[in-house]
Amino acid sequence: MTANTDIQYLKGVGEKRAEILKSKGIDTVGALLRFYPRKYLDWTKTTTVMAAPYYENVCVKAKIVTPIETFETRNKVMIYKFIAEDESGKFYVSLFNQYFLANKLRCDREYLFYGKFDGSFVIKQMNSPLIQEVGYNLIEPIYPESRNMSSKAIQKLVKTALEKVEMPEVLPEEIRRKNGLCDIKYALWNIHFPKTKESFERAKRRLVFEELFCLQVALTVIKLKTHKQSGCVIEKDVLNEFLKYLPFEPTNAQKRVIQECLLDMRSGKPMSRLVQGDVGSGKTVVAAALCYSAAKNGYQSALMAPTEILAEQHFETFKNITANTNVRCGLLTGSMTKKQKSVVKEQLKNGEIDVVVGTHALIVNDVEFDNLGLVITDEQHRFGAAQRGKLENKGLNPHKLVMSATPIPQTLSYILFGDLDISVIDEYPKGRQKIDTYSVDSSYRTRIYNYIKKFLGEGRQGYIVCPLVSENEELDIKSAKEYYENLAKGEFSGYSLGLLHGKMSPKEKDAVMRKFANGEIQLLIATTVIEVGIDVPNAVIMVIENAERFGLSQLHQLRGRIGRGQYKSDCILISDSQSDDTKKRLEVIKTCADGFKIADYDLALRGPGDFLGNRQSGIPQMKIADLFADKQVLIDARTQAQKLLEQDPQLKAPENAGLRQEVIELYKKLK
């Protein structure tokens, strides 16, 4: 039996259990051994009956001192009762419908009991505790369970697999020796059935390093493969010429990032770079400079944005910058008429458009380019890898630039964008207005509405953000639809209001955003669909309802919709939550305007999955590593992965055979 053996052939599995395991992603015996416990029950931490607090999980070692009595209730529930004691006192134990457990227990024998005490102060009571014989599995693994598969059942299967299978060693011996890591056999036994805390820590350290190291090797292989290809060369330096057409002076950070990109584009290899910049840092200028350079060197550029309104905004910016040049810009979106699309497609094919800005409409099969040399995706993690690849495949190894306004911590960038070089715009353009942020409870609502009216009366605009559209009484979250209707009929009956939510069609959303951008809507009631929105310099106030329901980075992104013009702006967070965690989080938003610092704090609080949200694609699911807690391990793993591939780019050396196989599998998933 090997690690690749189908899970159904492991003793104790069979067809039915195999189906359950496969639904958890466990299709081979090796995958079962990589299905790590979600937590551990530490039976070594015991207390006495007298010292044990009420209503908290505790473990006590006690002897059963009375025979087990059986009772049946009217509802046919079987109750098994007995008394257990240690040197400090006695307690009652009740088991409900647990015949098999009750049948195993013996009077006058000592057991470990894990559960919560309740009862009177005269004698304590424990209902349905976990019970284990003394000396057996003192640190017990607890696995994610389902109705048809208990943690105990998975425990048994894992033990069988560990006894039957020799897992291949993935880490080269030199890497293990250098980092003081144990071998795979020791690691797997001690992550599943640790004898001591020390053996568990040693096993975990090895498996965390292995997971991050293999991932970094795979991502570096992708990067090296890209760098091996030959790309179009941007020889002619036209940056100074481009800067003359700008109506403002770019920041030093913008100039630096443009130079980093142009250096890549002159190298003869395809650029593969991520440009990160906080909300309002001026990424569009960087994109425009590169498109201009490509056009002046005879290449076409394509910029793909996630929404039509954002695509239109980029198009207008590009058109204005290049108005006095011979660079020709075009727009291609889904809502254009068939005739309009046909004209743009023909111009692209004939090379009559130098820069095209669009949405998913750019990746349909009949869109052809004459000489595509640069592909830019805006807010890249909103597009699937397949969508991005479709656009890139319309050219011959075009330069690739990814722009993200979502500040992503360095460690997460290594995972999400490990195949890209990274540039950061860490400076705001001059004249950017400071946004004052306040946190209040709902008792301030009337005052807030009056404050909004003051701005609307001055001709300004604003947003009110609600977390969900459908009513959910349990969480007490305001429904955006109901909220909108109440405001339109009540407090803001004399004003022009708009509603924007995720269940609207793209066409409906774009129509609302266009009206808001044109000033036809004064106050926009919206859900988080405005998180990646458009530039409305006239919007100066934002109110966020139930602010505790949002992640910190999300709040920061939302706040970035205001303060984009010459006017002072205010963001008001409404929350009735009394939890210390909420207060801490909202304090961070109030006092910090740096998106990268906020992102780090958010990642620490919520982990990478929640940090990015369900919509994100491209981040591999970490089985054991924690991208925040294991930050330094990731940095070390990345450095060592790059060094190893410098020495053995194909991983052909015999000592790298196991690693090569693992990387091939990872490479398939990542691509």
pLDDT per position as a tens digit, 97-133: 999 999 999 999 999 999 999 977 678 999 999 998 8
pLDDT attached to residue 612:
52
Q: Is residue 383 very low, low, confident or very high in pLDDT (cuts 50, 70, 90)? A: low
pLDDT attached to residue 490:
93
Q: Which span out of 52-56, 204-208, 575-579 was modeled with the highest average pLDDT?
A: 204-208
Q: How far is CA 282 from CA 173, 359, 420, 518, in A?
A: 47, 20, 20, 22
Looking at the DSSP bridge assignments, the partners of residue 82 are 93
pLDDT in tens, 587-598: 999 999 888 888
Give the CATH fold of the 44-136 domain. Answer: OB fold (Dihydrolipoamide Acetyltransferase, E2P) (2.40.50)
pLDDT attached to residue 617:
45
**Structural contact between residues 245 and 325, judged by C-beta atoms closer than 8 angstroms:** yes
pLDDT attached to residue 380:
55
More confident residue, 607 or 477: 607
Give the H or E element holding residue 84: strand 78-86
Find the mean pLDDT for residues 382-409: 78
DSSP 583-620: HHHHHHHHH---HHHHHHHHHHHHHHHHHH-TT--SPP
Lowest-confidence region among 49-63, 197-211, 270-284, 535-549: 270-284
Domain limits, CATH 2.40.50.140, in the chain: 44-136
With H, G, I as helix, E, B as strand and everything else as coil, classify residue 41. strand
Burial of 122 (0-12, 13-18, 19+ CB in 10 A): exposed
449 backbone dihedrals φ, ψ, rounded to 5° = -60, -40
Short-list 404, 408, 416, CA closest to 378: 404
Tokens of 634: 């990731």
Lowest-confidence region among 71-80, 442-451, 660-669: 660-669
pLDDT attached to residue 529:
66
DSSP letter at 134? Answer: T
Tokens of 180: 């003081």
E-state strands within 481-610: 497-500, 523-526, 539-544, 569-574
Burial of 639 (0-12, 13-18, 19+ CB in 10 A): exposed
pLDDT attached to residue 396:
87
**Structural contact between residues 353 and 330, judged by C-beta atoms closer than 8 angstroms:** yes
Q: Is residue 607 very low, low, confident or very high in pLDDT (cuts 50, 70, 90)? A: low
pLDDT attached to residue 443:
95
pLDDT attached to residue 478:
52
Short-list 655, 640, 668, CA closest to 217: 640
pLDDT attached to residue 386:
60
Give how far the C-alpha of residue 409 lies from the chain's centroid of Cα atoms, to the nearest Å.
Answer: 11
Q: Is residue 636 very low, low, confident or very high in pLDDT (cuts 50, 70, 90)? A: very high
Angle at 602 between CA 598 and CA 606, to 5 degrees: 175
Short-list 511, 510, 602, 593, CA closest to 553: 602
494 backbone dihedrals φ, ψ, rounded to 5° = -95, 10
pLDDT attached to residue 475:
40
Find the mean pLDDT for residues 168-172: 95
Flag whether pLDDT at 151 surpasses 50: yes
Question: CA–CA separation, 510 vs 513, rounded Å?
Answer: 5
Mean predicted lDDT score pLDDT of the chain: 88
pLDDT in tens, 473-515: 344 345 778 888 999 999 999 999 999 887 777 778 888 888 9
pLDDT attached to residue 387:
66
pLDDT attached to residue 50:
93
With H, G, I as helix, E, B as strand and everything else as coil, classify residue 356. strand
pLDDT attached to residue 180:
96
Burial of 355 (0-12, 13-18, 19+ CB in 10 A): buried
Domain limits, CATH 3.40.50.300, in the chain: 239-425, 435-592
Flag whether pLDDT at 655 surpasses 70: yes
Tokens of 46: 């015991």
pLDDT attached to residue 473:
39
Please give the CATH architecture assigned to the domain spanning 435-592. Answer: 3-Layer(aba) Sandwich (3.40)
Q: How far is CA 333 from CA 130, 282, 315, 514, in A?
A: 60, 23, 11, 15
Pick the CATH number of 239-425 from 3.30.70.1230, 3.40.50.300, 3.30.360.10, 3.40.50.2300: 3.40.50.300
Q: Is residue 282 very low, low, confident or very high in pLDDT (cuts 50, 70, 90)? A: confident
Spatial strand order of the sheet with 272-277 comes to: 329-332, 355-358, 300-304, 372-378, 399-404, 272-277, 421-425
DSSP letter at 235? Answer: -
Looking at the DSSP bridge assignments, the partners of residue 111 are 62, 133
Q: Is residue 615 very low, low, confident or very high in pLDDT (cuts 50, 70, 90)? A: very low
Find the mean pLDDT for residues 176-198: 95
Q: What is the CA radius of gyration of the chain?
A: 30
Give the HSE-up count for residue 614: Cα atoms under 13 Å, Cβ half-sphere. 0
Burial of 441 (0-12, 13-18, 19+ CB in 10 A): exposed
pLDDT attached to residue 614:
39
Question: CA–CA separation, 170 vs 658, rounded Å?
Answer: 5
Give how far the C-alpha of residue 186 lies from the chain's centroid of Cα atoms, to the nearest Å.
Answer: 32
**Structural contact between residues 302 and 362, judged by C-beta atoms closer than 8 angstroms:** yes
Flag whether pLDDT at 405 surpasses 90: no
Question: From the CB of residue 374, how many other CB atoms can be counted at a distance below 10 Å?
Answer: 29
